Structure 1
Amino acid sequence: MTRSRLLGLVLATALALTGCGATSGGSDSGKSEITVAGTYPIQNLDPASPAGGGNTGTNLVAQEIFSRLVRPKQDGSVEGDLATDWKSNSTATEWTFNLRSGTKFSHGSALTANDVAASFKRLLDLQSTNAKNFSGYTMTAPSDTQVVLKAPKPDASIPHKLVIFYVVPAKVTGEDPDFFKSPVGSGPFKLQKFDPSGTVDLVPNPNYYGGAPKLDKVTFKTMPELAARMTALRTGEADLIWGIPDDQLPQLQSESNLSVETVQSTAVFTMWFNSGEPALRDAKVRRALWQAVDFPTIIKQLYPQTGTLADSPISPVTLGYVKQEPVKYDPAAAKAALTAAGFDFSKKLRLQFANAEFRPFNQAVVSDLQKIGVQVDPLEKEQAVFTKDLLAMNWDVNFQQLSNPTYDAANTLGRLYTCEAKRNGYCNPSLDKLLAAAVATPDEAERTRLYGEAGKIIWDDAVGMFPMAVKYAYAFNKRLTGFTPDPNGLPDFAKVQVSGS
């Protein structure tokens, strides 16, 4: 073998061993590929489906495949996606959205206003979770580049509500499971492979109006077990995980090849009282139960990095947030108030929750209540059972990590605390009037003031206990650039790259 041929072979071998291009996920292909390990199942790719369309896993993938009229920014404000601009009439009952021209679906056909209007009608027809935000609304397409949304009553929250409305081709009607096995969208990625048991592969959409992403492939893997996600991150099987308990963060923060970031989320630990139950009808009783739990200490012990004592029923990154007066821990005063109200200490309260990760928190709450003689039965339920019992009001105290993908108080305060909602047994006509006025007011400062007043009623009447504002912790390979942690646990990968690729 000549010296030149030998040198060429050595160089070729060296390039092959180094991977030639900073790949991800342990691959030597030279491609820019990443793997995302999430906790939520992705069993359905249809975000409008009544069967799981509102799930976090579905929305995580849907935002990559499909476009929306508008999308949320990191600070909770709204920016255009398919829409370039929008405006309402003076009463906020009619909204006009102008669409960007030249937008195409991933298979190359043009996306027009007719596709947007048809997708909205489909959303309503399917009566999915998000459809409840648009009861009685209509959308028309006066031209190929404009849609008009009409509401039956003033609604200034419409742009925020639309951040979870996705556009599909107009020909798609009904649930159409065959279409969603290989869906066509106009988002930054398109589907390569979908395995409902837990894996989704996405590749760039060359027709994306914002330019095809730099990543060659994004793989989403469902890994509900924390140990599996942690191992996958350390071994390089996964490049990004989140939903990490505080006690695991120091170890990840010590590893030189990983970045760990926390972001204030839209989620608040919310523990509703069933005000329809005789034992919990009195606001003084509900307030006393709240006062009996040492939430500052529980948070410090369990969530030192990802939890802060809540001071509102909604998160600080939600439009309508106004700080309320903290409820001080005072078990002696709590027991005295319960006794004065004639509370039956022999009756057991049923505290329901789902997901094992919340078990220590709820056990701590039960322990504190027992210290003043309040008996509580903690009921950890499977998600389906939990949801069924939640809607049936088959509980006394209901724990949820309640997030808000719209970043607008209309989606939480306005949707869950009205007399009509019947979600927690609480009904206050004065609160209803405030919430109606808030959603009808186009001025954001005035909306915030009104929601602050509504939040004070909910807070002072102790419709529930609101212990903790949640931060989400993300851990990812340092080779990822352009990644931004998302306040809703729905990170976007359109601008993510692998350094050196």
Structure 2
Amino acid sequence: MRSALAAVLAVAVLAGCSTTTGGDSAERDSIVVSGTYPVDSLDPHSAAGGSAGKEFTGQSIYGRLTRPDAKGKIVADLATKWTPDATATAWTFNLRSGLLFSDGTPLTSDDVVASFQRLLASDSPNKSNFTGAKIEAPDKETVVITAAKPDAALPSKLATFFVLPKTVGPDFFKKPVGSGPYVVKSFSPGESLVLTANDKYWGGKPKIQTVTVRTIPDISARLTALRTGEVDLVWGVPDDQLKTLTADAGLKHESVPSHQVFTMWFNSSVPALATPAVRNALWKAVDFKTIIANLYPETGALAVSPVAPTVFGYSPQQPKTHDPAAAKAELTAAGFDFGKPLRLQFANAEFRAFNQAVVSDLAKIGVKIDLQEKEQAVFIKDLLAMSWDINFQQLGTAGFDASANLGRLYPCAAKRTGYCNEELDKQLAAAGTSTDENARKSAYAAASKIIWDDAVGMYPMTVQIAYVWNKRLDGFTRDASGYPDFSAATLGAK
């Protein structure tokens, strides 16, 4: 993600056509947008559905019980009310009356139950938020989700759960049915997605009739398309391009603090990275402050926590000191093998310069890195298989609660980093099960300190998401997740 996100268009497609042409009427109800990541799948319950492109399109096509607003507060979507029992183990969700899918069929609690069960049976990383959970439907407008243990963050975790019809056949995602503000008109994976307004949407049919999401892998082509009016909105704009774009009188811009942090996990199951001493020494060798100042002066800041300041559970830690001489001495004392390269994997070309800078700093103390840039699908597969030594990702916290990040990814049972610490498990369990907000904050602070001090990963930078758009576009949500919402947007003349 430099944000967290959605999708962009091939240059050949840009040159050949534009949905903004065809007269003033078409221009007033159609937009073309281009984010950071391609949309490869429309299945929100798949492993591919864990990508940023899916989250963006998911909120446009499908509904959720709850959703975060632009600032991260959990608000109503398909459910208007949610109530926990005394221990926050069983949560009752009351659905809106009269909900319809885009094909006109009623959306009931049976669809919610079937979708939740489908998620639990899927290969989606998001299902780990609900391990051991059960769901039932007392009536057509009520569902009860019972967690395996008390879970005060359940409404936040449900921001990653999308509701589909109870019957999903093999061809469903060729023309998916949902309850979001838009309907899929056409989809070419990794290239373009055309959405049209859903007149069955509970929030009212959007004023913008057509939203075309296009994949433009080359950033220069993407920004040229914005300047020429071929594209109306771009987000995740690189810092070195912002000054030029913001000087354009026909464009508007805003940078929004996100819930995302550049995260570089160490694979602690690899013998070379098994000790905190080695992991901390590697962190100490990289001058992240200077790298950020050079590459992300507008949209980056040195991180002091595994999660961003916008997230519940954020607790600032003591910044790491850059000291390459000490780093080399500590690695030598630990018996580190300088002759064997470490595999550093990442996806998306936008992160290439950052990772190259990290490789350069490590090389200065004799640490060899095999830098591996992978296609998104391969990256996710290898991430889950732990086929890496250092893993870079722009990691967000869905729902803006640390449970969806720290609580999901760092327990021993998660097996995501090769790191296991019983005390960390204890603090994360306390943070996840307490109904007392102050107690949860204290537990997350203790957990963050363990993660930080033991260098489970390196946490270089918190992220702001830069949006730049044509002035004729108004009323869309500059989302802190990097998933803009067009359900209330309007257009003026081009």
TM-score for the superposition, normalised by structure 1: 0.90
Per the alignment, residue 98 of structure 1 pairs with: 94
Instruction: Select 1:227's aligned residue among 220, 226, 231.
Output: 220
CA distance in 2, matches of 1:163, 1:413: 16
2:61 maps to 65
Aligned counterpart for 2:257 among listed residues 239, 259, 264:
264
Distance in 2 of aligned mates of 1:382 and 1:216 = 33
| Deviation of the 1:133 alpha carbon | 1.9
After superposing on structure 2, the runs of 4+ consecutive aligned residues of structure 1 that deviate more than 6 Å are none
Name whichever of 120-129 and 60-69 sits farther off.
120-129
Out of 42, 47, 69, which is 2:44 matched to? 47
Aligned to 2:114: 118
* SS of residue in 2 equivalent to 1:317: coil
Q: CA deviation at 1:401?
A: 1.4
Matched-pair contact (CA < 8 Å) for 1:76–1:319: no
Q: Which runs of 5+ in 2 are unaligned?
A: 1-17
Equivalent pair of 2:476/2:487 in contact (CA under 8 Å): no
Give the letter aligned to residue 72 of structure 1.
Answer: P
Contact map agreement 1:38 1:224 (CA 8 A) in 2: no
Correspondence for 2:401:
408
Once the two structures are TM-superposed, the CA of residue 469 in structure 1 deviates from its matched residue by 0.7
Separation (CA, whole Å) in 2 of partners of 1:184 and 1:477: 30
Equivalent of 1:495, from 484, 488, 491?
488
1:76 & 1:306 partners in 2: Cα distance? 19
Q: Is the 8 A contact 1:24 1:239 kept in 2?
A: no
Amino acid at match of 1:75: K
Alpha-carbon distance between aligned partners in 1 of 2:485 and 2:244, rounded to the nearest angstrom: 26
Aligned equivalents of 1:194 and 1:277: distance in 2? 41
Alignment partner of 1:156 is 2:152: yes
Q: Which residue of 2 aligns with 1:331?
A: 324
The yes-or-no answer on 1:192 pairing with 2:188 is: no
Unaligned runs of 5+ in 1: 1-22
| 1:15 matched residue in structure 2 | none
Whether 2:308 is the aligned partner of 1:315: answer yes
Which residue pairs with 1:282 in the alignment?
275
Query: Which deviates more from structure 2 when the two are superposed, residues 482-491 or residues 37-46?
Result: 37-46
Paired residues in the alignment total 475
Q: Distance in 2 between matches of 1:61 and 1:375?
A: 39
Matches within 5 A, 1:102-501: 102-170=98-166, 172-173=167-168, 176-196=169-189, 198-499=191-492
**Offset of 1:51 from its aligned partner?**
5.1
| Mean Cα deviation higher: 477-486 or 390-399 | 390-399
Cα distance in 2 for residues equivalent to 1:44 and 1:389: 18
Deviation at 1:127, TM superposition (A): 4.0
Pair member with larger Rg: 1
**8 Å CA contact 1:83, 1:99 repeated in 2:** yes
Q: TM-score, normalised by structure 2?
A: 0.91
Where 1:436 maps in the other structure, the secondary structure is helix
Query: Structure 1, residues 343-383: CA drift from partner, whole Å, max 9, x if none?
Result: 33333322222222222111211222222232333222333
Cα deviations across residues 231-276 of structure 1 (Å, max 9, x unaligned)? 2111111101112211111110111101121111221111112222
Q: Residue type matched to 2:404 in 1?
A: N
Q: What is the deviation of 1:24?
A: 8.6
- Residue identity (%): 56
Q: Is the 8 A contact 1:24 1:32 kept in 2?
A: no
Aligned-residue Cα RMSD (Å) equals 2.0
Of the structure 1 ranges 191-200 and 266-275, higher mean CA displacement relative to structure 2 is found in: 191-200
SS in 1 for 2:50: coil
